[in-house]
Amino acid sequence: MVPRTRTGMSADLVLHNVRIFTCDDGRQDAGLVAIRGDRILAVGPEHDLGLFAGTGVTLLDCAGATAIPGFNDAHCHPMSLAISLLTVDCSSPAVRSIPELQARIRERADRTTADCWIRATGFDEALLAEGRPPTRWELDGATSRHPVVLVHATGQSCVLNSAALQRAGICSSGPDGAGQGIRLDPDTGEPTGLVVGRQDRVARAIPPPDAGELERGMRQASLTCLAQGITSVQDTSWTNGWHQWQLWHRLVAAGAVGPRVSMMAGTESLRTFREAGLATGNGDRHLRLGAFKLALDESTGVPHPPRAEINELALVAHEAGFQLAFHVPDPWMLEVSLAAIAFVRRRCQRHAPGECDSPGFRLEHCIVCPPDVLGRLRASRATVVTQPAFMHRFGASYGEAAPPEQTGWFCPIASLRRHGIDVAFSSDAPLMGSNPFAGIQAAVTRQTDAGQALDLRQAVAARDALEMYTAGGARASLEGGDKGTIRAGMLADLALLDRDPTRLAAGELSGVKVLRTIVGGRILWEA
């Protein structure tokens, strides 16, 4: 408890009759949290309530609810989430077949002006009855009056109808063949509509949402996050650049963004930010510049880019003052990223002998991690930012393909923790749903969507999963001194829950409800 002074304990908001999960020094079964301005003033027992009662103080009786630090989603794509909320939802279980997908697009077309683009998102052929993506002609069956783009759940491919192909200038076979990511019908040589990987012509053809649309989508995304207890998000899109940085500023100024935002700089934006004198940590408490996202595989479409190119880009970004975040989708990129971290450390120590003055390293995803890499991973002192909900969505397909002895390589959270490797949880929304409790339950149960358990030796306790989704996320963005725990002096970012997650059966975790979400001492959402 903060010592009482002669002037008293002036607070603006006091939460009392509340269970407190502090994330750093245990739980108090009943207590209070006093808030002044945007900071936590004091944490203490219920009988200290009289210290804070007074004129102008809001007393909130939490009726035994559980207070936790606000969730910090350490890897997500808020702009894409906002846009997805404006699109036709073609994800499972809402859509299970191509006719159901056509019906959803047709319904949107019936209330959309002809020739206007229709955006649909979330489809996954593995979850459709047909086991394949739809063709351009099947999308034409939904509407031929509108150009349609249907984006895969992973964001790595899309399907265009005939009108959209024409707008993109993809009208026949020839130089735009399968080698360019444009799939052709083997009999006719005509484009099927499926486009895999990055295609600039497609990106140029699809008009971006206008300012009003994007703000409307961001307000919806913000409310979605706040309703799930998320008080901070880290935008990890490799396409982020100066335009997105300015766009975030406009959205925050318009009041469209409730959670705090840390925006990574994308792979191709380093020079722009460096020339502007900006690097990791610039900004303010609501919007700050995060790490440099080193994702040459995503930006070039080459799954295994040259090691030397990765090393040099990492060094330049490090010397510009950026934290480095490596895109690690597979064991090959994990090996390359660890080598790049070692390269950066060696080079900077040549100029400044001793410990490398690094703003930190992150490994994004790191979903498959062989045990023989754990020692080097620990030595790198990098934070693993992973998505435990991937076990539910992708665990079954991994389990079918991997030998039994390798099932524990998939999201090996317990092994990472035992080796002293810092871990932060995240959602990768909108690829996955943004609800943190889906990820927490997956980390505890390690169950796939088919009910299969993936090596329960890698399971973690609910309290550890909570810590990785709160304090872990704050540490990953180098903000652990400001948020992620409930104690005096920290930012007053909290979520009030209807139940204590640490006292529930594993299968009940995804059902925990958020009652209120507080950001900077202000109640921004309540049920």
pLDDT in tens, 455-495: 999 999 999 999 999 999 999 999 999 999 999 999 999 99
- 497 strand-pairing partners: 66, 514
What are the pLDDT digits (tens) for 190-230?
A: 999 999 987 888 989 999 888 999 999 999 999 999 999 99
What are 369's two structure tokens?
């991690």
pLDDT at 460: 98
Task: Say which DSSP state 352 is in.
Answer: S
Write out pLDDT tens, residues 340-363: 999 999 998 765 544 455 578 999
Average pLDDT, the chain: 92
**Pair 395, 410: CB distance under 8 Å:** yes
Separation between Cα atoms, residue 243 and residue 236, nearest integer Å: 15
pLDDT digits (tens, 9 = 90+) for 269-305: 999 999 999 999 999 999 999 999 999 988 777 889 9
Residues carrying CATH 3.10.310.70, the chain = 87-205
Count the Cβ atoms, other than its own, within 10 Å of residue 148. Answer: 29
The token duo for 297 is 């595989």
In the chain, ranges of CATH 3.20.20.140 domains = 211-519
Q: Is the peptide bond before 93 cis (omega within 30 degrees of 0)?
A: yes
Mean pLDDT on 365-394: 96
Q: Is 428:387 a contact under the CB 8 Å cutoff?
A: yes
Percent of the chain with pLDDT over 90: 82
The answer to whether 454 and 408 have CB atoms below 8 angstroms apart is yes
Give the pLDDT score at 249.
98
> What is the second-level CATH architecture of the domain 87-205?
Roll (3.10)
| CA 316 to chain CA centroid, nearest Å | 26
Question: pLDDT, tens digit, for every residue of 383-413?
Answer: 999 999 999 989 999 988 999 889 899 999 9
pLDDT reported for residue 7: 39
Instruction: From 245, 300, 243, select the one nearest 267 (Cα to Cα).
Output: 300
CATH fold of 211-519, please? TIM Barrel (3.20.20)
Q: Is the pTM of this model over 0.75?
A: yes
Q: Roughly what angle, to the nearest 10 degrees, separates helices 331-351 and 307-319?
A: 50
**Residue 181: its pLDDT value, please?**
85
pLDDT over 70 percentage in the chain: 94
Strand, coil or helix: 475: helix
